[in-house]
Amino acid sequence: MMRMALAVAAGGVVGTLIRFGVGNWVNANWPRYFYGATLAVNLLGCLLIGYLYMTFLERPDIPLEIRAGLVVGVLGALTTFSTFSLDTLRLLESGQIGVALGYLVLSVGGGLLAAWLGVSLARL
């Protein structure tokens, strides 16, 4: 368990630094498009989680610590949108279209509502 926690922590450092670097680069080069950093890391994270998911399915010999370090650590710190996207895709692929659409609407709509509520509470 300790090796797993260390792998996730190390991956988290890498993912956080990538996100920080992308954010600084976008803000330095295109400050008007501040949201570009979030879009970039979300798309990159989605690409990587799809690739890693299939790689790990085809290569069960890859140690669990490496899998967790990359997916939970690196991608978890880089973006959780990648996990959300993969979960939705897996629901769609398994034929659970209603659950997938509900998950999509609740995640995006609920996330926006929760952010608005947080902003509103802070303004009180």
DSSP assignment of 30-46 equals: -GGGTHHHHHHHHHHHH
Model confidence over 60-83: pLDDT tens digits?
999 999 999 999 999 999 998 988
Please indicate, yes or no, whether the overall pTM of this predicted structure exceeds 0.85: no
When pLDDT is cut at 50, 70 and 90, the band that residue 53 belongs to is: very high
Contact present, 98 and 91 (Cβ < 8 Å): no
Q: Please give the C-alpha separations between residue 1 and each of 10, 75, 105, in angstroms, as whole numbers.
A: 14, 20, 35
Instruction: Check pLDDT > 90 for residue 99.
Output: yes
Please give the pLDDT value at position 34: 85
Q: Where is the binding site for Na(+), in residues?
A: 76, 79
> What does the mean pLDDT of the chain come to?
95
What mean pLDDT comes out for the span 1-27?
96
| Percentage of the residues of the chain whose pLDDT score is greater than 90 | 90
Q: Where is the binding site, in residues?
A: 76, 79
